[in-house]
Every structure is written in structure tokens, then in C-alpha cells.
């Protein structure tokens, strides 16, 4: 999804109250509000395929899985909308406004969001102590990248291509690439 800046600045409290009344979703970073625009059909199909594959596994472990319309509170002044988020923290089971303790975050890349997802969002997400894996999935080619938390501030990188099976260690699931891209028509 593409984030476009809005001209107004607001406090977190005003943002949270204001966004509840909006027809669209808005990310919030340090007083600035960014409208989230729709993604492509490929983007949507990929997100649904990943949700469908992950849901039985994570629900069986007592975890919560959300897609697209669930925001993550990264810091007191940053709220983001990842394409998919999994939390196994009991506090998030009762959350009504935002997930605060994600274990896994997935972003489906598109040409308009790739720089933000790889840059600022990843830098922000890395500060979450509960985050174990950050997954970037291309919507224009068969390509998945997984960043996995290592020792201290170290993040390990692994790339996957056609025919591979992704090891999502944070949720104990092996996910074949062909399942992620099942019935997906790739393009721009």
C-alpha cells in the first residue's frame, strides 16, 4: 500500500480519535499523518495467501494474526499498518486499538512502498523487542526476503526464490513459495 502525506499535524491522542471516524486508514509518525491507499490485486492476493497459510498454525499456538487494517504501535509516536502481523503476547489478545508486541510482521512490497518498507519502517520495527522476523514479499516478481533477529542488534538476512520453502521460525512454519504466489498474476 502507498502512504501519502496529509498536510495536518496532530498529537497521538487527536490522531487516534480522528482516525476512528475516517473511511481510510492513516499511518502516524511523529505528528504527521499518512493516508494509506489501496494496493494492487497481486498485493492483495499475496497477503490473503499468506494469511490463509499462517492462520491455522498461529491460532493453534494461541497467537493473534491480523491483516491490513490492524495497526502496530511501534513507539508512542509511531503507528504503522503492516500487511500482516502476528502477536503471541497476551496483552495483544485483548487489544482493541493497536498491536504492541508483534512477533512477525509481513510487508508486501509494491513500487510505491518498497523504499519505505525497506527503510524507515524496518528501522522502526527493529526497535520492537518482541519482533523476531520481518518478511518482505515482492508483488512484481517471485521473491521473498526474511530478516530474522539474531544476537543483540544483529539481524540475519535470507532471500528465497522460485521453488524454495521459507522457514518462518518465529511461528514454526515452513511456507512454500508456490503457496505464497498461488493464483497471483504478477505485474507492476
The C-alpha cell 495483544 sits at 92
Q: Where are the domains of the chain?
A: 39-180
The candidate with the shortest Cα–Cα distance to 132, out of 169, 175, 173, is: 169
b or e along 13-25 (b: 16 or more beta carbons within 10 Å of the residue's beta carbon)?
eebbeebeeeeeb
Q: What are phi and psi of 121, to 5 degrees?
A: -65, -45
Render each residue's pLDDT in the chain as its tens digit; 188 residues.
555 555 568 999 999 999 999 888 899 999 999 888 777 899 999 999 999 999 999 988 899 999 988 999 999 999 999 999 999 999 999 998 899 999 999 999 988 889 999 999 999 999 999 999 999 999 999 999 999 999 988 999 999 999 999 999 999 999 999 999 999 998 76
Give the per-residue pLDDT at 177: 96
For 147, residues 6+ apart whose C-beta sits below 8 A from its C-beta are 122, 133, 134, 135, 136, 155, 156, 157
Give the per-residue pLDDT at 143: 96
Single pTM value for the model = 0.92
Could you confirm whether domain 39-180 is CATH 3.90.1570.10? yes
The two beta strands, 2-9 and 32-37, are antiparallel
CA distance 174 to 149: 18
Q: What's CA 134's distance to the chain center, in Å? A: 8
For 12, residues 6+ apart whose C-beta sits below 8 A from its C-beta are 28, 76, 77, 79
Measured between its terminal Cα atoms, the distance across the chain in Å is: 13
For 186, residues 6+ apart whose C-beta sits below 8 A from its C-beta are 42, 139, 140, 141, 142
Amino acid at each position: 500500500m502507498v502512504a501519502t502525506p496529509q498536510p495536518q499535524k496532530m498529537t497521538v491522542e487527536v490522531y487516534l480519535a480522528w482516525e476512528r471516524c475516517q473511511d481510510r486508514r492513516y499511518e502516524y509518525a511523529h505528528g504527521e499523518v499518512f493516508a494509506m491507499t489501496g494496493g494492487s490485486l497481486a498485493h492483495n492476493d499475496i497477503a490473503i495467501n499468506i494469511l490463509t497459510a499462517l492462520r491455522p498454525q498461529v491460532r493453534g499456538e494461541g497467537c493473534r494474526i491480523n491483516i491490513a487494517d490492524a495497526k502496530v504501535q511501534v513507539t508512542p509516536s509511531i503507528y504503522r499498518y503492516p500487511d500482516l502481523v502476528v502477536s503471541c503476547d497476551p496483552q495483544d489478545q485483548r487489544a482493541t486499538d493497536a498491536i504492541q508486541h508483534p512477533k512477525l510482521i509481513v510487508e508486501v512490497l509494491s513500487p510505491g512502498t518498497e523504499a519505505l518498507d525497506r527503510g524507515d519502517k524496518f528501522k522502526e520495527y527493529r526497535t520492537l523487542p518482541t519482533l523476531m522476523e520481518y518478511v518482505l514479499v515482492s508483488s512484481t516478481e517471485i521473491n521473498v526476503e526474511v530478516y530474522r533477529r539474531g544476537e543483540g542488534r544483529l539481524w540475519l538476512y535470507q532471500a528465497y526464490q522460485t521453488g524454495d520453502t521459507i522457514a518462518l521460525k518465529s511461528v514454526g512454519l515452513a511456507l512454500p513459495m508456490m503457496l505464497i504466489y498461488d493464483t497471483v498474476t504478477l505485474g507492476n
